[in-house]
Amino acid sequence: TKGPSGLEKVVLREARGFSAEVHLYGGQVTSWKNDRGDELLFVSNKATFKPPKAIRGGIPICFPQFGTHGNLEKHGFARNRFWAIDDNPPPFPESTAVKTFVDLILKPSEEDLKIWPHSFEFRLRVALGPGGDLVLISRIRNTNTDGRPFSFTFAYHTYFSVSDISEVRIEGLETLDYIDYLRGKERFTEQGDAIVFESEVDKIYLDAPAKIAIIDHEKKRTFVLRKDGLPDAVLWNPWDKKTKNMQDFGDEEYKHMLCVEPAAVEMPITLKPGEEWKGKMELSAVPSSYCSGQ
Ligand code: BG6
């Protein structure tokens, strides 16, 4: 399908009515809807959908570099490349119940090899589980033929749609060590209970647990994020001031989004030729009452 932007996208639909959309540009999930048609991910009303700018919202893929942890452009180049669909993907070994998925492939172009001189194959599988869960599995393989290893950092830069950021609480990151990107490279330890939001946040929690809950009190909805192979978790909300410098982000939109990003940043991943890395994120959206006492 082609969206209004003219960019190609794949639409996944699951029997109960959940759906997801993935743009080939960026290999980026730009929509995930529940069986009532409610959008669960945030995409800015000002998102441009015009290469070479990355799409503001959904789930940008940060690879081969997260943020400014290296010499490449911020968050690497995967989010502004055109990915290809694999028409004949391998079967789904994780769960035979999953029938609705698409595999996108990214390989470096000649130009990419000039800025990051490594041959790789990145297979991104986007799947809708039978209960509407959104599953992203990344498999990155070193295909260098000259024996060279490579290292990379990575994140699923997930923009969740929330009713009101001041009504949102995160569970699963309390007591962890983190680096606050707004305060240099020093390590802090999270004190107290669940995390709430009152100002700009740009932090990376180190060695975060496999399960993180994003509780939206007003919507009475909880997102449960499960991750595997991705030790860290970034929290980001630009708040009002930062937003003013972002052309593709509305002035008030920070109230309705929160990025929670499973990532591998503190310890870059190193692959020898022929080796493959796998990083998985699974999202579900459940009524909040269902989650209490988890
Ligand atoms: C977050 C980073 O993951 O992404 C922030 O921690 C950054 O520092 C944000 O500002 C958005 O980045 P971009 O390039 O999409 O505007």
Q: What residues in the chain have per-residue pLDDT under 50?
A: 291-294
CA–CA gap between residue 258 and residue 163 (Å, rounded): 10
Give the span between the Cα atoms of 261 and 288, in whole angstroms: 21
- The ligand 1 site (C-beta within 6 Å) comprises 54, 67, 74-75, 157, 181, 202, 234, 236, 261
Return the pLDDT at 294. 43
**Residues 236, 261: Cα–Cα separation, whole Å:** 8
| The dihedral sign for the CA sequence 11, 47, 58, 131 | negative
- C-alpha closest to that of 70 among 108, 118, 140: 118
Q: Which ligand 1 atom is at minimum distance from the Cα of 204?
A: 6
Residue nearest to atom 5 of ligand 1 (CA): 202
Q: Omega into 52 within 30° of 0, i.e. cis?
A: yes
What distance in angstroms lies between residue 180's CA and the mean position of ligand 1's atoms?
13
Q: State the pLDDT at residue 194.
A: 87
What whole-number distance in Å separates Cα of residue 162 and Cα of residue 147? 46
Please tell us whether the domain made up of 9-291 is placed in CATH 3.40.50.720. no
- Respond yes or no: is residue 256 known to be catalytic: no
Would you state the pLDDT for residue 93? 73
- Whether the ipTM is more than 0.90: the answer is yes
Q: Give me the pLDDT at residue 83, please.
A: 98
pLDDT given at position 94: 62
Query: Max CA-CA distance within the chain?
Result: 55
Q: Where are the domains of the chain?
A: 9-291
pLDDT at residue 99 in the model: 80
Neighbours of 52 (CB within 10 A): 10
Respond yes or no: is residue 69 known to be catalytic. no
Helix (H) or strand (E) holding 150: strand 150-156
Tens of pLDDT, residues 172-195: 999 999 999 999 988 999 997 889
Nearest to 160 by CA among 240, 234, 18, 57: 57
The residue among 234, 208, 257 whose CA lies nearest residue 154 is: 234
Residue 196: per-residue pLDDT: 96
User: Ligand 1 centroid to 202 CA: how many Å?
Assistant: 8
Do the Cβ atoms of 169 and 196 come closer than 8 Å? yes
DSSP element (H, E) containing 114: helix 110-115
Catalytic residue among 157, 171, 253, 282: 157
Q: What is the pLDDT of residue 292?
A: 47
